[in-house]
């Protein structure tokens, strides 16, 4: 049986190791990869480029969360597998997420991020695709002699009563069918479409 005090549990020794359990770990996070994402983002400037491309109709005198911080928060969360905006109810207080974004206090809430995404316009989407192209160009050390573009669609399964949901017989489920443009492993453009669509719902840049 472990020996217990008010703030510590002792589990004896294992060789030269003394095994104790206490509550002095401080603020903890399981997403250590966030710091690597932060370093990559700082080097290529993706979150700043995306923030600059998006229109921001908010009253600048009343802004609590800068556009770049909101974009970085959403990007980093997606990279860590947190696709649902509801995840940010907890992530906004995650010390490692805050550090990665560059803040020391609460980040954007789920409703704040939802408003950010819902106010995106067609012009914003075109501008974001241009950011992808510019990032691709910046990643090339020399001008390539040839570029091979891979243009294809892929399904995004839908659950519940999603907007403009349609059933796709080939994939055998309800889904969106976005159109992607790749050059090697680099994505140059993405066009969100209904699964019954046979043409892009917006022009490619």
Same domain, 43 and 108: yes
Residue 187 has pLDDT above 80, yes or no: yes
Q: At what angle do helices 67-79 and 46-53 cross, to 10 degrees?
A: 130
Is the model's pLDDT at 179 over the cut of 60?
yes
Q: Is the pLDDT reported for residue 128 higher than 90?
A: yes
User: Tokens 């809430």 label which residue?
Assistant: 109
Determine, yes or no, domain membership for 85.
yes
How high is the pLDDT of residue 3? 56
**What is the model's pLDDT at position 5?**
64
For 49-94, what is each residue's pLDDT tens digit? Answer: 999 999 999 998 999 999 999 999 999 999 999 999 999 999 999 9
Say if 148 falls within a structural domain. yes
> At 27, is the pLDDT very low, low, confident or very high (cuts 50, 70, 90)?
low
* Whether 113 and 151 share a structural domain: no
Nearest to 166 by CA among 153, 156, 179: 156
> How many C-beta atoms lie closer than 10 Å to residue 45's C-beta?
14
Tell me, yes or no, whether 111 lies in a domain: yes
Its domain, for residue 92, covers: 34-118
- Given 78, 103, 118, which residue is the final one in a domain? 118
Residues 99 and 145 in one domain: no
Please give the pLDDT value at position 52. 96
Three-state DSSP state, 153: strand
pLDDT, residue 183, reads 94
Whether 177 is covered by a domain: the verdict is yes
Written as one string, the DSSP assignment of 15-47 is TTEEEEEES---S--S-TTHHHHHHHHHHHTHH
Looking at the chain, the whole-number percentage of residues with pLDDT higher than 90 is: 62
Give the total number of structural domains in the chain. 2
Residue 8 or residue 150, greater confidence: 150
The pTM score is: 0.77
- Chain centroid to Cα 3, Å, comes to 44
What is the residue-averaged pLDDT of the chain? 87
More confident residue, 36 or 1: 36
Assess whether 40 and 76 both reside in one domain.
yes
CB within 8 Å of 149: residues ≥ 6 apart? 181, 182, 183, 188
Residue with tokens 């974004």: 101
Residue 204: per-residue pLDDT: 41
């Amino acid at each position: 049986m472990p020996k217990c005090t008010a703030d510590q549990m002792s589990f004896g020794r294992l060789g030269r190791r003394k095994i104790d359990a206490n509550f002095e770990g401080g603020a903890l996070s399981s997403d250590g990869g966030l710091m690597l994402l932060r370093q990559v983002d700082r080097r290529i400037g993706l979150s700043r480029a995306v923030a600059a491309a998006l229109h921001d109709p908010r009253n600048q005198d009343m802004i609590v969360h800068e556009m770049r911080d909101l974009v970085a928060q959403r990007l980093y969360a997606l990279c860590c597998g947190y696709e649902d905006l509801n995840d940010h109810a907890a992530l906004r207080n995650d010390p490692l997420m805050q550090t990665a974004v560059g803040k020391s206090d609460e980040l954007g809430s789920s409703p704040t991020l939802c408003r950010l995404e819902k106010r995106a316009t067609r012009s914003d989407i075109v501008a974001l695709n241009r950011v992808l192209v510019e990032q691709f160009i910046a990643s090339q050390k020399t001008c390539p002699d040839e570029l091979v573009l891979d243009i294809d669609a892929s399904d995004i399964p839908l659950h519940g009563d999603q907007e403009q949901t349609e059933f796709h017989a080939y994939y055998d489920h309800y889904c969106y069918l976005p159109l992607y443009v790749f050059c090697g492993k680099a994505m140059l453009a993405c066009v969100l479409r209904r699964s019954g669509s046979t043409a892009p719902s917006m022009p490619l840049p």
